[in-house]
Amino acid sequence: MILRGVISSHYSLLLLLIGFLVVSSSITRVLSWGVIHVKYKFAGSQRSIVDLKVHDSVRQVRILAGVDLPLGGSGRPDGLGLYYARIGIGTPSKDYYVQVDTGSDIMWVNCIQCKECPRRSSLGIDLTLYNIEDSATGKLVSCDQDFCYAINGGPLTGCTANMSCPYLEIYGDGSSTAGYFVNDIVLYDRVSGDLKTSSANGSVIFGCGATQSGNLGSSNEESLDGILGFGKANSSMISQLASSGKVKNMFAHCLDGVNGGGIFAIGHVVRPKVNMTPLVPNQPHYNVNMTAVQVGHDFLSFTPDIFDSGDRQGVIIDSGTTLAYLPEMVYEPLVSKILSRQPDLKLQTIHDEYTCFQYSKSLDEAFPNVTFHFENSVTLKVYPHEYLFPYNGLWCIGWQNSGMQSRDRKNMTLLGDLVLSNKLVLYDLENQTIGWTEYNCSSSIQVLDERTGTVHLVGSQNISSACHLNAWSITVLILLATLLHFLGC
């Protein structure tokens, strides 16, 4: 959905806007200028199949535009896969609820100057507007600072040393966020023992959202305070913490497709062992090279370059998309082979999108497994009970034809929660690899503390907050291992 704004093309207007907002809010400072607990956004609620379609179609436009892959998903294709985290910002610290995002390269929260930012949410959480004047450690980031140069590819015309560094992102559905960068302390929990954490903090540069529109504005009932970026760029929160020696540039998630929730850990996961495949270089997202698709014992016939389209290469791994999207030349033979196992099925098309049917016996006995093959002999197996989901007494196929979405998406291949649930997925940005293994996401993993060489257990826990939580939900705990030096914490 996101079309990242080329900031220079909109710069004059944005600069005037940000300047007005900063002045009008009487910001008079001299311009010197993890464990994070994660909760399933739609826990306990039943989302319609129409919601599912809208959710994924919006996300695919985002991916095609090169920005924004939110991390999340309950692993249930009949629900919307989004998670949010609670973090602390400022001195004294205040709580903010932000969407965890593997594609965005910045973190941002709504600012006190914002007139169109949401003030309340139907998710049962209290929203907070960030005010730099309330934090003893908050600083504005000026246009002449290295961060501003780096994120914009050089100096911005008209942006001088006594002005705050702006940001702008425009979304394909008409939504947008604009504001300026600030530097403040972000609080999180570090692993201090088996299933234990202690408080830690780090200095992070993030966006202060001065104006929001569309789905980011006050009209969205399921609003959050902002977005927590876990993208690959140097501006992401994890990259900033890694560059300062706080953590290793590695993280992992395990989405529980049975109960919802799971595990999210930053750090060096040593158990379970994970087979890794290289990330495709020079891609904005987590792309990998797929070499084959197997349905049961049969391999589909195609050449690997079917997954490439222009500058976009490989297959996108996206834990925030609910289903899985394949090129037409892969989708059609795959679905045909699956359905050939049960030729007497009476197929129905729901909402012009989903192929569904009635079936009362064991899915795993009646339909074949689907196995994806990647570089370095890494495989990813998807069982029938994972790629078939229930809807109104029917079973619907979770595989989707990306060629049906639009001409631009004809060759897009995107593997979402349908494929990734019940697997530990490890992102090693230091070595530019990604891998996965089947795993019980309700259990625990082992993370190495590289200061001491000790290994600690990390498991899923409930988010704790003042808001009312549905007893059904099982939430995710982001456990941030203290790796490298952890100076001053």
Residue among 112, 106, 240 nearest 185 (CA): 240
Residues 229 and 301 in one domain: no
Residue 101 has pLDDT above 50, yes or no: yes
If you average pLDDT over residues 333-345, what whole number do you get?
Answer: 96
Is 308 known to be catalytic?
no
CATH code of residue 104: 2.40.70.10
Measure the CA–CA gap between 439 and 76, rounded to whole angstroms: 16
Domain annotation covers residue 4: no
Measure the CA–CA gap between 121 and 316, rounded to whole angstroms: 31
Last residue of a domain, one of 240, 266, 292: 266
Please state the pTM of the whole predicted model. Answer: 0.76
Adjacency order of strands within the sheet including 354-357: 348-350, 354-357, 394-397, 388-391
Residues 211 and 306 in one domain: no
Residues 217 and 291 in one domain: no
Distances (CA, A) of 6 to 3, 14, 211: 9, 11, 17
Residues 250 and 274 in one domain: no
Catalytic residue among 68, 184, 318, 417: 318
Least confident of 172-181, 278-287, 447-456: 172-181
Residues 237 and 275 in one domain: no
Residues 373 and 307 in one domain: yes
Is 318 known to be catalytic?
yes
Measure the CA–CA gap between 220 and 224, rounded to whole angstroms: 9
Residues 293 and 259 in one domain: no
Domain annotation covers residue 326: yes
| Domain count within the chain | 2
* Residue in the structure block whose two tokens are 């990998």: 288
Asked if 62 contacts 173 with a C-beta cutoff of 8 angstroms, the reply is no
Domain annotation covers residue 22: no
**Angle ∠(307,312,316) on CA atoms, nearest 5:** 65
Residue 94 has pLDDT above 60, yes or no: yes
Residues 258 and 306 in one domain: no
- Partner residues linked to 201 by β-bridges: 187
Domain annotation covers residue 481: no
Confidence band, pLDDT 50/70/90 cuts, at residue 404: low
Adjacency order of strands within the sheet including 298-299: 298-299, 290-295, 370-374, 378-382
Domain annotation covers residue 12: no
Give the residue numbers spanning the domain of 120. 34-266
Domain annotation covers residue 471: no
Confidence band, pLDDT 50/70/90 cuts, at residue 310: low
Catalytic residue among 56, 68, 101, 428: 101
Residues 349 and 426 in one domain: yes
Residues 62 and 167 in one domain: yes
Residues 211 and 310 in one domain: no
Domain annotation covers residue 341: yes
- Partner residues linked to 99 by β-bridges: 84, 227
Determine the pLDDT at residue 115.
84
Domain annotation covers residue 16: no
